[in-house]
């Protein structure tokens, strides 16, 4: 079984679509309801950033099976303006939502693995993984 999905994000409907795909795959892989909600929220945050700051991009969701460990991977990528100061956006208390603890640092804490790569004027790629326990 190789579940995979790729959602083009251009508007808010696409955010919902990406959430739906993520939830379905998480459910199929056997994630519990709490982790399902976490994964969908992470997808939501990443997709919303694409929609708000890059205009358009993609959310790819795939399953991982490495030496018996099952996981779900989200790749959020776009060719937008990029993030100038990555360290700063990963700081707590920086997001514009201010004090909600959401945004990228929040996503990082919800998931098990998180990496971000971004160049100014070239785009942003965020890869994040949740392992099934």
Q: Does 103 bind Mg ion (CB under 5 A)?
A: yes
Cα 84 to Cα 95: distance, rounded to the nearest angstrom: 14
Residue 124 contact partner, candidates ligand ATP, Mg ion, other proteins, none, CB within 5 to 8 A by sort of partner? ligand ATP
Q: Does 22 bind Mg ion (CB under 5 A)?
A: no
List CB contacts of 76: < 8 A, sequence separation 6 or more.
46, 47, 49, 50, 57, 58, 59, 60, 124, 125, 126, 128
For 126, the token pair is 């965020």
Of the residues 12, 32, 65, 119, which one makes contact with other proteins according to CB under 8 A:
32
Q: Does 49 bind Mg ion (CB under 5 A)?
A: yes
Residue 43 contact partner, candidates ligand ATP, other proteins, Mg ion, none, CB within 5 to 8 A by sort of partner? none
Q: Does 37 bind other proteins (CB under 8 A)?
A: yes
Q: Does 50 bind other proteins (CB under 8 A)?
A: no
Q: 124 φ, ψ to 5°?
A: -135, 140
Please choose, from the candidates 13, 3, 14, 1, the residue with its C-alpha nearest in 3D space to the C-alpha of residue 76. 14
Quickly list H helices, 1-133. 12-29, 33-49, 86-89, 103-110
Residue 130 contact partner, candidates Mg ion, ligand ATP, other proteins, none, CB within 5 to 8 A by sort of partner? none
Q: How many CA atoms lie within 13 A of 23 on its CB side?
A: 12
Q: Does 98 bind other proteins (CB under 8 A)?
A: no
Q: Does 99 bind other proteins (CB under 8 A)?
A: yes
Closest-approach residue to ligand ATP (CB): 103
Q: Which residues bind Mg ion (CB under 5 A)?
A: 49, 103
């Amino acid at each position: 079984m190789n579940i995979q999905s790729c959602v083009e994000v251009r508007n808010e409907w696409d955010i919902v679509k990406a959430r739906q795909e993520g939830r379905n795959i998480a459910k199929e892989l056997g994630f519990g309801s709490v982790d399902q909600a976490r994964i969908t929220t992470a997808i939501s945050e990443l997709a919303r950033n694409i929609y708000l700051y890059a205009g358009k991009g993609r959310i790819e969701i795939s399953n991982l099976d490495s030496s018996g460990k099952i996981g779900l991977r989200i790749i959020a990528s776009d060719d937008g303006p990029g993030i100038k100061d990555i360290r700063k956006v990963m700081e707590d208390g920086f997001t514009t939502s201010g004090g909600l603890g959401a945004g990228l640092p929040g996503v990082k804490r919800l998931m098990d693995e998180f990496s971000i790569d971004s160049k100014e004027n070239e785009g942003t790629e965020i890869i994040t993984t949740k392992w099934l326990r």
